[in-house]
Amino acid sequence: MNDVVLKELCLADGLSGYEKEVTRVMKKYMAPCVDEIRYDNLGSLVAYKKGSEPLKVLLTGHVDEIGMVVRSIDEKGYVHPHQLGTLFAHSLGAQEVTLTTREGKKLKGIIGTHAKDPQFQLNKDTIPVQDQIVDFGVYSKKDLEDLGVRIGDPITPSGYYQELNHPDFVAAKAWDDRVGAGLVVETAMALKDVKVAPDVYFAGTVQEEVGLRGAKTVGQMVEPDISIALDVYPCNDTTNDPKGEYALGKGCTICLADTSSIAHTGLVQYLEELCEKHGIAYQETMISRGGTDSGELHRVGKGSVNVSIAIPNRYVHTQRSIINRQDYQSALSLLVEFLKDINLEKLQALLASKQ
């Protein structure tokens, strides 16, 4: 796990529809490792490494994060936000955020609420996101406008990247899905001087949090034989979940099913056999809410042999979430071994396993 790469990715601001800070970081690190870099028309980045056989493998990590845009500014200078992606209103109060103007200026603000009684809502229910405000510490609407703030400007959680008390645990903003973006980048770096059979496409997809949109356009652009979406899944190791524990520190996750896709059973078996062969820790899971880029990738063209590989994540979709280095490293090791092992003959065997 390369902290230099991951920190730069996490500190970049990349709300859905405003992702170019993140794709520029990916491009910087992948350009020396691949044969070509291209973009789709939405802004998704695709880096291409030529292989020796007529086989296409696509890895995706989505680059967008949850956040807000400026919906309106009142006369006192408070910003009223519109959310993009799923925000948890109860986690937002008093959090620091960063607004990026169209000129690229960064402004710090604090999420608050309008006080409706002397107790400042202390005993009330959670204030819905659309009823919260962002306080940028100004006197008036004109003050904000003079700073360059306009309707539609993106607002994201302020940057954070911190190793915790055990060095395996790292907290950051936007692990969803800078984890996937990091795995895409580090896999390309690891294979820089390695000859592989497939043509490999390393993608940073946009607008996943608002509907898997970049996955659809990248899938149409590449038309992969095999596609792997890299993301985070919310773990349940802080509770006694009767469905079983999905925990930090027990390896990456091979995702059998979520609400958007069912993993290709032949590919799941292949990946698990690689894990056993190379001593790579892994878990299996299914989730009943949410999905990944796989929701679009698996149905490209005649269908792509597809799976999602995820990293367990505590406190997903909040300003600060936690992952484990060992889980990240297990995913990276699995991806590298897979791309070194897969070839056209093995793809044909995967396809035959469904017939």
Would the annotation count 327 as a binding residue? no
| Number of CB atoms found within 10 A of residue 322's CB | 18
> Which spans in the chain are helix H?
3-11, 20-30, 141-146, 175-190, 213-222, 265-278, 294-297, 325-341, 344-352
On the question of a cis peptide bond just before residue 193, with omega within 30 degrees of 0, the verdict is no
- Residue 181 is classified by DSSP as H
Would the annotation count 176 as a binding residue? yes
CA 246 to CA 283: how far, in whole Å? 7
Which H, E and C letters describe 183-205, residue by residue? Answer: HHHHHHHHCCCCCCCCEEEEEEE
Which H, E and C letters describe 45-59, residue by residue? Answer: EEEEECCCCCCEEEE
The amino acid that residue 304 corresponds to is S
Residue 189 main-chain phi, psi, to 5 deg:
-65, -40
- Residue 129 is classified by DSSP as G
Q: With CA atoms as reference, report the closest residue to 319 among 154, 91, 85.
A: 91
Would the annotation count 177 as a binding residue? no
Report, as residue numbers or ranges, the catalytic residues. 208
Q: With CA atoms as reference, report the closest residue to 284 among 248, 310, 313.
A: 310
Token couple for 213: 């949109």
Token couple for 302: 């005649």
CA 196 to CA 179: how far, in whole Å? 24
Q: With CA atoms as reference, report the closest residue to 308 among 329, 294, 297.
A: 294
Annotated binding site: 62, 176, 209, 231, 317
Annotation: binding site for Zn(2+): 62, 176, 209, 231, 317
